[in-house]
Structure 1
Amino acid sequence: MLKKVAGFIEEHDLFSPGDTVVVAVSGGADSVALLDVLAGFSSLRLRLIVVHLNHCLRGAESDADEAFVRELAGKYGVTFVTQAVDVQDLSKREKLSLEEAGRAARYRFFSEIAASCKARAVVLAHHADDQAETVLMRLLRGAGGSGLCAMAAKSAGMYVRPLLSVTRFEIEAYLRERGLVFRTDSSNADVNFLRNRVRHELIPFLKSYNPAITDRLVTTAAALSEDEEILDKVTTEAFNRFGTVEAGRVKFVVAGIATELRGLRLRLYRRAVLQVKGDLTQISARHLNDIDSLLLSASPNSRLVLPEGFTVKRCYGELTFQKHGDASSVPYEFFIEGPGSYPIPGGGLLTVEVAAVPESWDGVPATVAYFDGDGAPFPWLVRTFIDGDVFSPLGMARSKKVKKLFIDKKIPLPFRRRIPLLFSGETLFWVGGVMPATAGRVTASTKLVLRAEILDFTP
C-alpha cells in the first residue's frame, strides 16, 4: 500500500520536500492510516499539523474522538488544532442537511488553519471506496460529466487526497499490520444518511451484478476526469472569446455563444455562475436550461432569477450574470449648484465647466454636451429615469418619451436605470450620454456656455 500511495503522490505532484501540510484526522480508520503513512515518508520531511473538528453531534462520543486524536497527534509529536462546531444548529441556520452542514464546517475550519500556518495543502483521507460512493451519490442526485468525475487527487488548489489509489480493504489490512487502533463513528451505520445507504445497501447490491463494481466506478471517474481536462480547456477558450468579467459581473456576447453547441453553452453558464457566485450550490440542470432558453429567446430584454440572490439578464446582444442588488441599478438623485465634478452613484463621473463653443459640432461624442447657462440655469437636478419622463429631443419638433428613446437606441434595461437625466427646474434638458433636448441648447445669442461630460460610465 505504501508503494501505491507514494507512486500516486509522485504522479500527481501532491507534495514537495519540506512542505507544511494540514492533515484532517477524524480518528477513524482512514484518517489514522493517512497520518501514519505521511509520518512515515521521512524523505518528504513534511511538517504535519493535525486538525480535528468536533461536530458536537454525538455528545460524549464526539468529545472522546477529539481526545483520541489529540493523544494520537502527541504520539507523532506533531501540532494539534481542534475546534467545536454545533453542526445541528448550523444546518438549521443555513438550511442545509446535516451532511452538507458538516462538510461546510469542516472545509471552513481546514481553510482557516491552512491560511494561518501558510500550509501548502490540506490532506484528506478519501480513498477508492469513497470515490465509488461519491460517483453513485452524484449519479442518483443527477450530475453531468464534470460531477461524475467525483473527487480529484488535487482540488481547489490545496485539497489533496493521496489515498485515492487504495481501497478500504487495503487500509484496514495496513492498520492491522501496523497494530494501529482507531475510533469507529457510530453514525456511520445510520442509513438515514445517503452515503451510508449507498455504502451499506446499494454497493453490496451492485456487487451481485459485478463483484468489481468499486474498481469499475473508480476507473470510470478517472476516465471522465481526463475528458474533463479537455472540455475545461475548450470552455476556458470560449469564455475568453465571448465573455468579459467586470465589477462582479460576467457578460457574454449573445451572438457569439448562441452558435456554439448546447453542451458548451451550458458549461459557459456554469463557469459564469461560479465566477460571480463563488460556487454552484442550488444551481441545477433546470436552471442551466432556463438560462439557455433566455439566451435563445426572441425577446431582446428579459430576466431570470436564480437561487441565492442571483440574476441572469438578457439585454439585446448581451447576457449578464450578476448578484441581486447590484449597486448599478439603485435609483439616485442629487443637485448640482454650479461647475464642478460630481460622482455618479454606481460608478462614473459628471463634470460641468464653463467653456467656449466648439469650432465644429462634428465629432463631439454623445458623452459630451453644451448648454446655454441662461437657458438651463442652476441648480440642476440629476436623477435616474422614471416611467413617464418626457422631453423634446434636439432637432425634433415633437416631444418624446424617454422610454421610447431608450428602446430606439437599444439601451439595455438595467442600464436605463443608471443613466443620469439632467433637469433645470421641471425641464429635462439632457438624457446623459444619449441625447440633449431642445431646451437649454446653445444659440447665437448664448452668453454663457456650459460643457457637461460623463466619464468612466459603463452599463
Structure 2
Amino acid sequence: MKLIYEKFLAHVRENQLIKPTDKILAAVSCGPDSVCMLNLLLTLRKKLGFNLGIAYINHNLRPNEVKNEVKFILKTGVNLKLPVYIESVRIKKSKSGVESEARKVRYGALAEIANHNGYNVIATGHTLDDLAETVLLNLVRSRCEEGITAIPVKRQLTGKDILIIRPLLSLKKQEILAYLKDRHIKYCFDSSNKDVNFSRNLIRHEILPKLLKINRQVFEHFANLSKYSDLKETYFDKIAETAQKAAVRLNYNYVTLDLKTFFKYNPYLRWKLLKSILSKLNIQDYSKSIQEIFQFLASAKGGKNKIILKNISIERKGDDLVFKKTQK
C-alpha cells in the first residue's frame, strides 16, 4: 500500500497544502476516510515536522454511536500522543436540510477550535468519491457554478487566517479501505451513511455505481472537470473584480448596478456580477434568483419596474438597478 502514501504526498506537494511551520488540526469523524488521513499525516509529519492535533465534532444526531466514537478518538489521541479537542453542537432545522446545516455548524466549530488553540490549517478527509458526489448533487440542485468546481483542494476560511485543506482528494474510497485493511487500522461505522433518504447517500449507493458501469474512470473525469472549471473560475473572478469596480456602487444599506456598463459585458460576466451582489446581501441560494433577475430585466421596459426576491427589493431606476434589503 505504499502507492497510497505516494499519491497522497504527490497531491500535497502539487497543491502546496502543507508547510513544516504549519500547525494542523485534523478533523476526524472516526470513519475510514478521516482515520486514513490522520495516519498519512502522521507519516508525513516525520519528514516535515509540523504540529498536529485532532478535532472531533459531535453533531448529536447519532447518540448510540457517539459514545463509542468519543472513546475511540480519546484512545487514539493517547496512543499517538496528540491533543484531542471534542466539541458538541446542535443542528437546528433549516430549509437547506440537515446535511447542509450540519456542514455549516461543523466548520464553525472547527474554526473556533483552531482559532482558540493556534492552528492555522484544518485538514478534512474528503475523497475523490466525495468530489464526484458533490458535482452530481450540486448539478441536480441547479447550483451550476459550484456543481462544476465541487470541492476545492484548499480554501481560506472567510474572515480568518485559517486554511482548509483536502489532502485525500486524489484518493478513492476503495483505495482507502484497502489501505486500512492492509495495515490493520481500526475505524468506526456511521450508520447514517447507509440511509438513502439523504440525497448524498442516494447518489453514493445507487447513482454512481451505475455510472461506473458506463465508465470506470468516472471519478477521474469528475476530478478533471472540477479542476479545470476551477481554473476558469479563478480567471473570471479576476475579470469580475475589475468589472465590479466599474459597474457596482456599494452604499450603506443598498447596492446600485449601472445597467449601461452591465450590458456591455458577456452573459457569464453579468451572471458573476449578480452573484457577487446577492452574496453581499447574504443571499445564499442565488441561482434561481439570478434567473429571475434576468427575466425581470428583459421585461422591465414595458412592464413592472420592481420585484421582491426573498428579503431583497430590486428596482429599476433609469439606467440603474437598485438592490435593497426589505424590512422583515
TM-score, length of structure 1 as denominator length: 0.65
The secondary structure found in structure 2 opposite 1:208 is helix
Kindly provide the CA deviation profile for residues 87-129 of structure 1, in whole angstroms up to 9, marking residues without a partner as x.
3xx12xx444221221122111112112222322211100111
> Which of 83, 87, 90 pairs up with 1:83?
87
Other-structure match for 1:167:
172
Q: Assess if the C-alpha contact under 8 Å between 1:294 and 1:314 holds in 2.
A: no
Q: Which residue of 1 aligns with 2:160?
A: none
Determine the C-alpha separation between the residues in 1 that align with 2:32 and 2:144.
31
Aligned to 2:315: 313
Q: Tell me the SS of whatever aligns to 1:50.
A: strand
Q: Residue deviations 1:190-244, cap 9 Å, x none? A: 1111111111100111122112222222222222222222222222221122123
| Alignment match, 1:32 | 35
Which residue does the alignment assign to 2:62?
58
8 Å CA contact retained: 2:136, 2:147: no
> Which of 186, 190, 200 pairs up with 1:185?
190
The yes-or-no answer on 1:21 pairing with 2:24 is: yes
Residue type at the aligned position of 2:190? D
Matches within 5 A, 1:181-260: 181-247=186-252, 249-260=254-265
Distance, in Å, in 2 between the alignment partners of 1:122 and 1:318 is 43
Residue matched to 1:107: 107
In the alignment, what sits opposite 1:130?
A: 130
Q: Quick one: which amino acid aligns to residue 245 of structure 1?
A: L
Whether the 8 Å CA contact 2:137–2:147 is kept in 1: the answer is no
> Is residue 129–residue 214 contact of structure 1 (8 Å, CA) maintained in 2?
yes
Which amino acid is the alignment partner of residue 178 of structure 2?
A
Larger strand proportion of the pair: 1
What amino acid maps onto 1:32 in structure 2? Answer: V
Aligned partner of 1:287 in structure 2 is 289
- Distance 1:298-1:203 versus aligned 2 partners, 3 A rule: same
* Runs of 5+ consecutive residues of structure 2 not aligned to the other structure: 158-162
Q: What does the per-residue CA deviation read over 1:398-455, in whole Å, with 9 as the maximum and x for residues that have no partner? A: xxxxxxxxxxxxxxxxxxxxxxxxxxxxxxxxxxxxxxxxxxxxxxxxxxxxxxxxxx
Tell me if 1:71 matches 2:75: yes
Higher relative contact order (CA 8 A, sep 6+): 2
CA contact (8 A) 1:258 1:295 kept: no
Q: CA–CA distance in 2 between the matches of 1:79 and 1:15?
A: 19
Corresponding letter in the other structure for 2:62: R
Q: Deviations over 1:158-184 (max 9, x none)?
A: 221011111112211221232210001
CA–CA distance in structure 2, aligned partners of residues 288 and 156 of structure 1 = 26
Q: Secondary structure of 1:105's match?
A: helix
- Which residue type is aligned with residue 62 of structure 1? V
- Cα 1:82–1:301 change in 2 (3 A) is same
Equivalent residue of 2:139, what SS?
A: helix
The Cα of 1:288 is off from its aligned counterpart by 0.4
2:10 corresponds to which letter in structure 1? G
- SS of equivalent to 1:181: coil
Q: Are residues 282 and 167 of structure 1, via their aligned partners in 2, closer, same or farther at CA, if it must alter by over 3 Å?
A: same
- Larger radius of gyration, structure 1 or 2? 1
Which whole-Å CA distance do the structure 2 matches of 1:69 and 1:248 have between them? Answer: 47
Other-structure match for 1:340: none
Instruction: Give the root-mean-square deviation of aligned CA atoms.
Output: 2.1
- 1:140 and 1:232 mapped to 2: Cα distance? 24
Structure 1: where are the runs of 5+ without partners? 327-459
Match of 1:323 in 2: 325
Report the CA distance between 1:134 and its aligned residue.
Answer: 0.9
Kindly report which structure 2 residues correspond to 1:254-269, keeping only aligned pairs within 5 A, or say none: 254-269=259-274
The one-letter code matched in structure 2 to 1:29 is P
Q: CA deviation at 1:299?
A: 6.6
Q: Distance in 1 between matches of 2:302 and 2:73?
A: 60
Q: Is the 8 A contact 1:146 1:225 kept in 2?
A: no
TM-score (structure 2 length as normaliser)? 0.90
